[in-house]
Amino acid sequence: SVVNDLPFTARTAAELAEIDRRVLVHPHNHGSQSERITIVRGQGCTVWDAHGVELLDVMGAGNWVAQVGHGRPELADAAARQIRTLEYYTGFDIFANDQSITLAQRLVDLAPDGLDRVFFTNGGSESVETAFKFARLYHHHRGEPDRTWFISRNFAYHGSTFASGTATGFPGIHEGIGPEFPNVARVSTPHPYRAPDISPGRDLTDFLIEELAATIERIGPGNVAAMIGEPVMGGAGILVPPADYWPRVRELLSRHGILLIADEVVTGYGRTGAWYDSADRGMQADLVTVAKGLTSGYAPLGAVLMSDAVAGTITGGDTYLFHGHTYSGHATACAIAHANLDLLEQEKLVDRARTVGEWLHETLAPLAGLPLVGEVRVAGATVGVELVADRETREPLMADWVTRALREKHRVAAREYGNTLVMAPPLIISRAEVERAAEALTDVLRAGAGS
């Protein structure tokens, strides 16, 4: 049987799976997994696999994107219009295309004060690479070339290229690749539920700030280029830091002339109910990395926003910026980003993310009473349900079986990150769809606890 009536899917589900196993190397995939799920179509919050099975997408195309939902004709039209007009022209040297210029202005207009300039990339990892290079270049041009160190956090996710992968704080990513990007230190995760071993009565932020200060002292304040952090940690399982965490980190870094990079690849453009989440958390970042939500995943595009001080230092005067990608500011990707931002604005989806968050909170808060649930954490249109084998000891319980049961029994596509089940649905999701996902998760966790 042919998969569906779309002309470009002229293969059966079985053929696709067979070719996939034989030829396609999957990103972030476990070699022992032989199962394959081929997604062939999407509309709104629904996607269909190659067998015609319908799934409710509560994970933004499986990867924190799809803010405006699947299959939007407005974005298809914008792409087609731009390709007919000008598909691409380099942004190197004195050249640029009109879409990249107007999009840069638009990103700055939406950004908090102090972020005035934009550099385009192809995605999150490249944005982080770029931000790291810019931070070092900034110090270099200011006569402080020893500032080469970066501070990141355990269980941060910043990408999988060499520098961004080194900054990523998941142990497995560092294995088997030899020497990594040098001069990256990691500090503790601001995770109130799993606070590091601090003495009773001790404030978590106090502990984290002291640890950060000690780390800076150990490296030498004059050797640190920047700290990088997700305002709310996504891959770590939706970790919202204490309210005083970022303001105090910012203050400490400023005292030592250290830059702050906010990694907003997940949080940027609406996910948590803000255009840029870092602004609401008091980060006052010098550089901000973005990607995913910028195009809702309709085209690969990322960017680094930065202060005039940073941009002026690395590009001013006779300074030649020897950094860039063929597709920096790709005209079609930028046109798609414009159309995506149009939809986010017209449909007030950034505010809607907060409403979705209230629905998630309302429908999932009761889960906190179940034996396998340690904590339910909501930040805008994202939720992390952290599973434990034992609520007393908080021993983590891996969540892969939950994702599988949600998909197979309830046709709901979420994702697990270790022991946390995560949902980051399209911002257009309806109340009924949120309820369906919540009922499915409740059912799976109840059944799991009984088994």
Cα separation, 323 vs 137, whole angstroms? 11
Shortest distance, position 63 Cβ to ligand PMP, whole Å: 6
129 binds ligand PMP (CB under 6 A): no
Contact assessment for residue 305 and residue 100, using Cβ atoms and an 8 Å cutoff: no
CA atoms within 13 A on the CB side of 244: 7
397 binds ligand PMP (CB under 6 A): no
Shortest distance, position 289 Cβ to ligand PMP, whole Å: 7
Shortest distance, position 275 Cβ to ligand PMP, whole Å: 16
Cα separation, 260 vs 191, whole angstroms? 20
352 binds ligand PMP (CB under 6 A): no
- Tell which residue, 248, 246, 227, has the closest CA to residue 169: 227
Judged by beta carbon, residue 124 or residue 445, the one nearer ligand PMP is 124
123 binds ligand PMP (CB under 6 A): yes
Nearby residues of 372 by Cβ (< 8 Å), 6 or more positions away:
387, 388, 389, 397, 445, 448, 449
Judged by beta carbon, residue 66 or residue 291, the one nearer ligand PMP is 291
327 binds ligand PMP (CB under 6 A): no
Q: Give the interface segment with ligand PMP, choosing from 37-45, 155-163, 372-380, 420-428 (CB under 6 A).
A: 155-163
The size of the interface with ligand PMP (CB under 6 A), counted in residues, is 14
Cα separation, 267 vs 254, whole angstroms? 23
- State which of residues 266, 301, 370, 413 lies at the interface with ligand PMP (CB under 6 A): 266
417 binds ligand PMP (CB under 6 A): no
- State which of residues 129, 263, 277, 433 lies at the interface with ligand PMP (CB under 6 A): 263
What is the CB neighbour count within 10 angstroms for residue 212? 21
- State which of residues 42, 91, 229, 235 lies at the interface with ligand PMP (CB under 6 A): 235
State the DSSP H helix or E strand holding residue 332, giving kind and residue range, or none if neither. Answer: helix 331-346
290 binds ligand PMP (CB under 6 A): no
Nearby residues of 312 by Cβ (< 8 Å), 6 or more positions away:
none
298 binds ligand PMP (CB under 6 A): no
158 binds ligand PMP (CB under 6 A): yes
* CA–CA distances in Å: residue 422 to residues 196, 233, 377, 396, 445: 23, 12, 10, 15, 14
Q: Give the interface segment with ligand PMP, choosing from 52-60, 153-161, 269-277, 397-405 (CB under 6 A).
A: 153-161
- State which of residues 129, 230, 386, 433 lies at the interface with ligand PMP (CB under 6 A): 230
Nearby residues of 28 by Cβ (< 8 Å), 6 or more positions away:
160
Q: Is 92 in a helix, a strand, or coil? A: coil
Cα separation, 334 vs 430, whole angstroms? 28
271 binds ligand PMP (CB under 6 A): no
128 binds ligand PMP (CB under 6 A): yes
Find residue 48's DSSP bridge partners.
41, 54
Contact residues for ligand PMP (CB under 6 A)? 123-125, 128, 157-159, 230, 234-235, 263, 265-266, 291
